[in-house]
């Protein structure tokens, strides 16, 4: 079973997703696909907090901020397992706005306009491969595309792209859930 969980930031999506992924794991392996690519101390602190929050859940962490489809062929990954990918938002950001570290500082070479289609295809391929193997994927995404404020053109490109990626995932997922202030609403 594949599940998409979306909603606002700090609304309980990650905890809810951990519960779903753990329930779906049954007796198989339980993986957490960590997608944040840290560029500063704040990112490192957030990662440390997330690691503490997952303690005791039994997740094996896989660091994979880009090219998610590469997990399909890895020998150390059992596709019959249960995967929690947190988050779709970060994967798209990493692909659309890649960061390169130069002399210990992040450099952003610019927007990759082809990234959204590539991310859609890779996430759908990963979901399909896991489903065919008998496993499950729980995708976590931030619903940042719903407000009516105006943003810079690159931010608007990103918001539209994330909405498109989420729509594509909703098509390949068996369940689609929105989490708002800890309240869940099943859409599919």
Q: Is the pLDDT of residue 9 over 90?
A: no
Whole-angstrom distance, CA of residue 161 vs CA of residue 180: 21
Whole-angstrom distance, CA of residue 62 vs CA of residue 45: 18
pLDDT tens-digit series, residues 163-186: 999 999 999 999 999 998 888 999
Whole-angstrom distance, CA of residue 23 vs CA of residue 25: 6
pLDDT tens-digit series, residues 104-130: 787 887 889 999 999 999 999 999 999
What is this structure's pTM? 0.91
Whole-angstrom distance, CA of residue 59 vs CA of residue 25: 10
Whole-angstrom distance, CA of residue 66 vs CA of residue 90: 9
Long-range CB contacts (within 8 A, 24+) of 49-54: 50/14, 50/86, 53/14, 53/15, 54/18
What is the CATH code of the structural domain delimited by 2-186?
3.40.50.300
């Amino acid at each position: 079973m594949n599940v998409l969980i979306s909603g606002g930031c700090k609304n309980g999506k990650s905890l809810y997703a951990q519960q779903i992924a753990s329930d779906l794991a049954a007796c198989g392996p339980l993986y957490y696909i960590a997608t944040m690519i840290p560029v500063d101390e704040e990112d490192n602190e957030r990662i440390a907090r997330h690691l503490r929050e997952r303690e005791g859940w039994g997740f094996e962490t896989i660091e994979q901020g880009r090219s998610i489809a590469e997990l399909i062929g890895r020998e150390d990954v059992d596709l019959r397992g249960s995967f929690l990918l947190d988050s779709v938002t970060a994967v798209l950001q990493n692909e659309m706005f890649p960061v390169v570290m130069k002399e210990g500082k992040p450099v952003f070479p610019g927007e990759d306009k082809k990234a959204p289609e590539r991310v859609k295809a890779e996430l759908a391929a990963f979901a399909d491969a896991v489903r065919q193997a008998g496993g499950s994927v729980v995708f976590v995404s931030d619903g940042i595309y719903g407000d009516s404020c105006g943003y810079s053109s690159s931010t608007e490109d990103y918001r539209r792209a994330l909405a498109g990626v989420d729509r594509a995932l909703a098509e390949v997922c068996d369940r689609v859930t929105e989490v708002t202030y800890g309240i869940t609403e099943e859409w599919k």
